[in-house]
Every structure is written in C-alpha cells, then in structure tokens.
Structure 1
C-alpha cells in the first residue's frame, strides 16, 4: 500500500539522468520494469528499503543523502 505522504523525487530524477542517462536504464540496473519505476517516482507505489540501498550504489550517493533523494515531502 502506498505511503500517504507524497514525496518529491525531482532531485532523484536529476541524479538518474546524470548517472544512468534514462529512467529505463536505471530501472534495468535496479531490477524492475520501467513501469514499476514510474509508479514509484509518481508516488503510486513505494520504494523498498532494498531498492533504496541498491539505488545508493547505482547512483553513487552517500547514505546520509538518502532522505534528500527519497524522503523529501511534496509541498
């Protein structure tokens, strides 16, 4: 069940573009379909803890930046 709080993933989308080129490429590396990734980025579904940790590796993020990329509330 999706979280009741909507998150702003604009910073995540920018990092995906910077590191992977496209959401499709990122989804492939993450191990999900482009449609599944789209649902997550559009707040229709939640990122799992495993997906977040894998994203940190794929996108070369720091663990302390997880909240900035995955838990910034939409205003």
Structure 2
C-alpha cells in the first residue's frame, strides 16, 4: 500500500523549515524521516503520535497527512 506524504512534508517544512530540523525535534535521523516520507519505511504508531503533537495536527486532519493513498 502506497501513501502520499507530500502534505506531511509541506507541514514539516512550514513548521520546522526543513526535514533536518524536524528530525532533531522528533528524535529521529534525517535519513529515517526521508525514508518514511518516500514510502520506503513505515511510520510506527509512536512516531505518528509524536509527529501529530510536534506539528500540531488536529485529529480530524490525520488521514490527510498519514493515510492519503497515492494515485497511480
């Protein structure tokens, strides 16, 4: 199952300026964030919860950021 994380990436850049800054705040490596945003690694539940908190994502918006299917 492929997801489109472009909205999440845009939110990260909007709030933190870069993946690097966000990765530091999230306690993850920039490589790990890149792999997750590229769909090459899965988001763990605790990582999703932490990201929602760090980015101040409203619960009604979670599907838009984490469960938006790629259209092929």
- TM-score bucket of the superposed structures, by smaller chain: over 0.9
After TM superposition, give the deviation of residue 47 of structure 1 in Å. Answer: 0.6
Shift of 1:26: 0.7
Structure 1: which 5+ residue stretches go unaligned?
none
Q: Which runs of 4+ in 1 moved over 6 A?
A: none
Matching of residue 49 in structure 1 with residue 45 in structure 2: yes
1:30, distance to aligned residue in structure 2 (A): 1.1
Task: Give the TM-score normalised by the residue count of structure 2.
Answer: 0.93
Structure 1 position 28 matched with structure 2 position 15: no
Residues of 2 paired with 1:49 and 1:17: CA distance?
A: 21
Q: Any unmatched runs of 5+ in structure 2?
A: none
Q: TM-score, normalised by structure 1?
A: 0.90
- How well do the aligned residues superpose, as a CA RMSD in angstroms? 0.7
Which residue of the partner structure matches residue 57 of structure 2?
Answer: 61
